[in-house]
Amino acid sequence: MTLLEVRNLSAGYGKVRALFDCSFGIDDKEFVVLLGVNGAGKTTLLRALSGTIRSSGEIAYMGSDLQGMPPERRLQRGIAQIPQGRGTFTEFTVDENLTLGATIVSDRRQVRLDKERWYERFPRLRERRSQLAGKLSGGEQQMLAVARALMSRPKLLLCDEPSLGLAPVITREIFAIFKELRDIDGMTLLVVEQNADLSLKFADRAYVIEAGHIVAGGSASAILADEHIQKSYLGD
């Protein structure tokens, strides 16, 4: 079943256009990566989906068009974005960050249960629940950013370059977490990544963006095996 169907999505900054008529779809419970070199438009595409920048074109999500809907309402509809650089509140504790992730959930008991659930899944966060987020390692901060987004009870998780500044072994851990979220929790994920080789080993499918255009799409294994794509668009 299709969860998200995007048609002719265009966006930019002032007079500079960064996305040109991008059309693509994501199925329910699919783990999709969005690949492309620096400046290709990956962040812009995520922002257009979460509503943090204006765009034109159609964003059909669970059957209704999100265009014109502010980011808070999109979050309430189940679309959560984890920004580049994690976006955790470094002066707050791990536990407070999780509480802040749940501001749209009014049922306090639900918030407690959700925290328990994610502490169960991320024991390192439980161990550090009283520490300031700024004191965590890069990998732990990324984990916290994911857990914080999960506290809003999303259906579609948008994550911008989780591997930034992380060692490959830690990046692998983060991608294994994404796969688990898909497999165990039935989450749908769109993850922006520059590390094609690693991310394609975990994802179901991938799109490739270049200079604001979606130039390729297919199963992760097909993209991984396609030398032309690797050479032309992924800087391999």
- Order the strands of the 31-35 sheet from edge to edge: 79-82, 156-160, 188-193, 31-35, 205-210, 213-219
Question: How many CA atoms lie within 13 Å of 182's alpha carbon, on the beta-carbon side?
Answer: 22
CB 91, min distance to ligand ATP, A: 25
CB 86, min distance to ligand ATP, A: 14
SS3 assignment, position 58? strand
Q: Could you tell me which of 151, 4, 133 has the C-alpha nearest to residue 64?
A: 4
* 16 vs 169 by CB, closer to ligand ATP: 16
The CA–CA distances, whole Å, from 227 to 196, 201, 202, 230 equal: 12, 16, 19, 5
Instruction: Tell me if 22 sits within 8 A of 8, measured CB to CB.
Output: yes
* 16 vs 184 by CB, closer to ligand ATP: 16
Q: Round to whole Å and give the CA distance between 181 and 67.
A: 27
User: What's the maximum distance between 2 C-alpha atoms anywhere in the chain?
Assistant: 52
- Give the count of beta carbons closer than 10 Å to the beta carbon of residue 49: 25
* 59 vs 102 by CB, closer to ligand ATP: 59
* 42 vs 148 by CB, closer to ligand ATP: 42
CB 41, min distance to ligand ATP, A: 4
CB 165, min distance to ligand ATP, A: 13
* 2 vs 56 by CB, closer to ligand ATP: 56
CB 169, min distance to ligand ATP, A: 22
* 140 vs 193 by CB, closer to ligand ATP: 193
CB 226, min distance to ligand ATP, A: 20
Instruction: Tell me if 52 sits within 8 A of 79, measured CB to CB.
Output: no
Binding footprint of ligand ATP on the chain (CB under 6 A): 13, 16, 18, 36, 38-44
